[in-house]
Amino acid sequence: MLQIKASSHFSVLKSLLVSLLVLLTSTVHAETLRDPTRPGRGAAIVDAGSSGTGSALVLNSIVKAESASHAVINNKIFVVGDRVQGVKIVRIDTGSVSLADGRKLKMYQAITETKGNKFK
């Protein structure tokens, strides 16, 4: 009878030790998991409020109307005659915006061009 109680206590103790070991390893593993909503390694934090004159101009969208046309450049709304980074907007077409310095911003340019090569 003493032997049955001893083996029973040993079995319970063994179960507790195994459970404790599993609990500890799962806690350690959970601490090493990376938050999937955080930016990847090497990501830079950029202040969205500061738009320097040297940054690229991105034409986000165009709204054409009979009375006036609007262009969204770098997430800001402009009309013909406004200045973006010091350069006057001279024309807003259906798919592009012409600037006074001769540049022409086109819709979806970042998607259709890669490192200077145009897809056809």
Joined together, the tokens standing for residue 25 give: 């390893």
Query: What pTM value is reported for the model?
Result: 0.47
Question: Is the CB of residue 70 less than 8 Å from the CB of residue 91?
Answer: no
Which helix or strand (DSSP H or E) is residue 114 part of?
strand 113-114
Digit-coded pLDDT (tens) for 21-52: 777 776 555 556 677 777 666 655 555 444 44
Digit-coded pLDDT (tens) for 57-89: 889 999 988 888 999 999 999 999 999 999 999
Q: What is the DSSP string of 68-101?
A: --EEEETTEEEETT-EETTEEEEEE-SSEEEETT
Joined together, the tokens standing for residue 85 give: 């980074």
Helix (H, G, I), strand (E, B) or coil at 6: helix
